[in-house]
Chain A
Amino acid sequence: MTALTVSQVTKSFGATTALAGVDLRVPDGTVTAVLGPSGCGKTTLLRLVAGFGDPDGGTIDFGGERVFGPGRSLPAQRRRVGYVPQEGALFPHADVTANIGFGLPRAERRAGRRAAELLDLVGLDASLAHRFPHQLSGGQQQRVALARALAPRPSLVLLDEPFSSLDAALRLSTARAVVEALRINRTTALLVTHDQNEALSLADQAAVMSAGRIIQTGSPQEIYSAPGSPVVAAFVGAAVFVPAVVTGCTASCDLGELAVRTGSVEGAARLLVRPEQIRVGGAADGGGAAAEEDAREGDQAGVAALVTAVSYFGHDATVQLRLDGSGRTVTARVPGNRLPAPGARVRVAVDGPVTAFTAA
């Protein structure tokens, strides 16, 4: 069952095209992240789904109900979606309980049971019930904003960059709590974000958006390890691109002979290698003689390279390498406890299959 179907939705503001024909299906009970750089139209898409504006063309369906299409546009207040904007936007004149109960019928609001239930669901202490928004931390505000959106039991919740205003430490815990609450409730959610870590770690399905179009939809693993285009590849994570020639299941390039994913292009290609796929071996540290020996060994144990720079992050580090053969510079990600020193000579090999794109 599909909770939300967006087909061929277009939208322009004056001469600027915000959405150039967007297609998106959000399966029931899942969290879908729309991932894209700022200005790609993702927030516009969210607002059109919520009913805060009308598309220029296309259709939007909630389950079996058409909410926008030719001759039909259901107003926002009758779409009954939950909406969590950036920074929460809690009503400053109402306390936590009143905020959560805002969209409930008066009788249920009076009873106050639902607000307590939702506070518990989003993992907040009941003692916060009568605080005002300015007395809450950023993370607490976001959780209350989600509770407010969930209170009227919507079938679909829309979240617009809900964690981007939080600082790094709070972001992760708040995001986890929010997604957990969504899953317990079996609520379908559409999350808009420009943060690839957020999209990959929280969502069941990710849709990568660029210049008003969705260019790939898939599970986070698919998007990351088998991106459909170099643009997607570069957007969802650090990427090393090397030119290569592909024959069958093997690509020949500066990094040696590498295995490529089945169904790749043939002939001249551009390979995507993720930095964590590049393994750095300490074999060449022995100096001149060892280096010569390594060079003779050739491709069996990777290619020889010089470490030009190391950036240390604690849990891991990135290493800049200059390949001996071609002089090409590539970046590898290595565990923080096995660091080569700048200037060291090393051997470089690649783990696992890589992705090949047609040469540009």
Chain B
Amino acid sequence: MYPRPLLLACVLVALLAAVPLFFVVGYTISVGWSQAWRLLVRPRVGELLVNTTELVAGGMATSAVLGTTAAWLVERTNLPGRRVWHVLLAAPLAVPAFVVSFGWVSLTSAAQGYPGALLIVTLAYYPLVYLPVGAALRGLDPALEESARSLGLGPWRTFARVVLPQLRPALLGGALLVGLHLLAEFGALQMLRFPTFTTAIYDQYRSSFNSAAANMLAGVLVLYCGVLVVAELGLRGRHRYARLGPGSSRPAVPARLGWFGVPALAGFGAVVVLALGIPLASIVRWLVVGTSTAFPAADLATATVTAAGLGLAGALTTVVLALPVAWLTVRHPGRIGTLLERSTYTANALPGIVVALALVTVSLRVLPAVYQTTTLLVAAYSIMFLPRATVALRAAVAQAPPVFDDVARALGLRPARVWWRVTLPLIAPGVGAGAILVFLAVVTELTATLLLSPTGTRTLATEFWSNTNDIDYGAAAPYAGLMVLLSAPATFLLTRSARRGP
């Protein structure tokens, strides 16, 4: 059933994507029970566990509440300026979390500690709930709500018993993404002096090159991610959430907010000021302060060129790796295809720090020549961002259904010409979008870049990081500004795809 070369390519990609997981599992087994016990059962690990759990649970809860409320207000009420609010509420996605953190820390040291960390990660990550829940609300047939109302349920009970259950996949999926991002978050929390597993792994690795402790913590982190993923799968259940029956649904009649509109607008205003206004104002302020002394135009240009080069290499490699997987799952649906596709998604749940650690150790043991080379860094980017590319490419390949191949062949085209004249033009836009998404993710990637980049390689993210570490906020600001500018188009792409619905 499956074409052999395609299957082989997919197996190789899946194996590459699974390297970090193999590494963590293999390492844990090789260390042995007693050694693992000694490394893990320590007060320090307990403290990290509490911190991480507090942050993940708190961040997921606040993001879910904020994201869902905002989505309902924008999609289902008569609040003025809903289109503008939609863009503004999705926009924080364009500001990397460590830049939000920078905006606050450079303003006041009161942002440090748990309350500050919770506030900042919520502001940085609630759009991950807001976008899918908004899309789900848009796709929800208002006839369901109307039926509930006619059966005697009031607006609140209708929301709780009809709307909320329908939103469950989007809400859980969004909350899971928030949780995984929080487990992986390094820069923002390091700046806030709020230690979690990820920052502790980095410190262990950097300060003492204590790879045994770092690797063991990485194992715990992966386990944590696994628990989240499994919990989300279990909670989602096996219900059907699709609209039944043919025809498209009518747009919903927006709810009248009346006087509730005033606090709603004030809340929106506050979120936008806190999530966008403060970081952007900080960047501008430090730009003014910093450039009054010196504007490092040459360094800035070098870092931009390096980051763009890495982004380009990462995007191309990732797209090339994702294409066979996307092709297999769309054109040859079946168990093997699904399994291979899913195995490339493990990277979705693996924090960048784990991917980086795995590649450091594996490359030193197996292929020392690639250690501290751009190749290894690009490989890390590919593993980390493969899921994004696969999702985009799957949509792209679906734009070229096999019936077009049939028609083209019946019209006398050889397979190679079919690919060139039919398939390529059809999938090109989607492939391009996938490549752009990966490019922008690479440009703002910090953790793996810090651990894996060859000595002397300076990117926007690493330059920003080292300047912030030296508390030279003025010098860090231009890099932060550039990263925000570069991320904006990707955010637009993401909101557009979310607008089309899940």
Q: Among residues 37 to 95 in chain A, which have CB atoms less than 8 Å away from a CB atom of chain B?
A: 47, 50-52, 75-83, 85-86, 89, 91-93
Cβ contact of B410, chosen from A82, A91, A92, cutoff 8 A: A82
Say which one of B34-42, B297-305, B401-409 lies at the interface with A: B401-409
Q: Which residues of A contact B413 (CB under 8 A)?
A: 77, 103
Interchain CB contact under 8 A, B412 and A93: no
Cβ contact of A89, chosen from B403, B409, B421, cutoff 8 A: B403
Interchain CB contact under 8 A, A52 and B409: yes
The answer to whether A148 has its CB under 8 Å from any CB of chain B is yes
Q: Which residues of B contact A103 (CB under 8 A)?
A: 408, 410-413
Interchain CB contact under 8 A, A102 and B425: no
The main secondary structure of chain B at its interface with chain A is: helix
Q: How far is the CB of B429 from chain A (nearest CB, A)?
A: 9
Given contacts A89-B403, A89-B404, contact A81 B410 (CB under 8 A): yes
Number of interface residues of B (CB under 8 A): 18
Interchain CB contact under 8 A, A83 and B426: no
Cβ contact of B412, chosen from A80, A86, A158, cutoff 8 A: A80
Q: How far is the CB of B24 from chain A (nearest CB, A)?
A: 39
A347 and B401 alpha carbons, distance in the complex (Å): 58
Q: Which residues of B contact A83 (CB under 8 A)?
A: 406-407, 410-411
The answer to whether A303 has its CB under 8 Å from any CB of chain B is no
The answer to whether B342 has its CB under 8 Å from any CB of chain A is no
Given contacts A91-B422, A93-B425, A93-B426, contact A85 B407 (CB under 8 A): yes
Q: How far is the CB of A321 from chain B (nearest CB, A)?
A: 36
Across the two chains, which residue of chain A brings its CB closest to B408? A102
The answer to whether B83 has its CB under 8 Å from any CB of chain A is no
The answer to whether A281 has its CB under 8 Å from any CB of chain B is no
Interchain CB contact under 8 A, B406 and A52: yes
The answer to whether B206 has its CB under 8 Å from any CB of chain A is no
Q: How far is the CB of B139 from chain A (nearest CB, A)?
A: 21
Number of interface residues of A (CB under 8 A): 26
A244 and B22 alpha carbons, distance in the complex (Å): 77
Q: Which residues of A contact B414 (CB under 8 A)?
A: 77
Interchain CB contact under 8 A, B406 and A85: yes
Across the two chains, which residue of chain B brings its CB closest to A104? B411
The answer to whether A149 has its CB under 8 Å from any CB of chain B is yes
Contact with A along B19-35 (1 / 0, CB 8 A): 00000000000000000
Q: Among residues 407 to 433 in chain B, which have CB atoms less than 8 Å away from a CB atom of chain A?
A: 407-415, 421-422, 425-426
Cβ contact of A148, chosen from B401, B409, B411, cutoff 8 A: B411
Q: Among residues 375 to 422 in chain B, which have CB atoms less than 8 Å away from a CB atom of chain A?
A: 399, 401, 403-404, 406-415, 421-422
The answer to whether A275 has its CB under 8 Å from any CB of chain B is no
Given contacts A92-B426, A93-B426, contact A102 B406 (CB under 8 A): no
A152 and B409 alpha carbons, distance in the complex (Å): 12
Q: How far is the CB of A74 from chain B (nearest CB, A)?
A: 12
Interchain CB contact under 8 A, B410 and A79: yes
Most B Cβ at <10 Å: residue of A50, A80, A83: A83
Q: Which residues of A contact B407 (CB under 8 A)?
A: 83, 85, 89, 91, 148
- Ordered by A's residue number, 11 sampled pairs between the chains whose C-beta atoms are within 8 Å are A52-B406, A52-B409, A76-B410, A83-B406, A86-B403, A89-B407, A92-B399, A102-B408, A103-B413, A148-B411, A152-B412
A-B pairs, top 9 by smallest CB distance, nearest first, are A103-B411, A83-B410, A76-B409, A89-B403, A93-B425, A77-B409, A77-B412, A85-B403, A103-B412
Known: A51-B409, A83-B407. 18 other contacts (CB 8 A): A47-B406, A52-B406, A75-B409, A76-B406, A77-B410, A77-B412, A77-B414, A80-B412, A83-B410, A89-B407, A91-B407, A91-B426, A93-B426, A102-B408, A102-B421, A103-B411, A149-B410, A158-B410
Residues of A within 8 A of B (CB): 47, 50-52, 75-83, 85-86, 89, 91-93, 102-103, 148-149, 151-152, 158
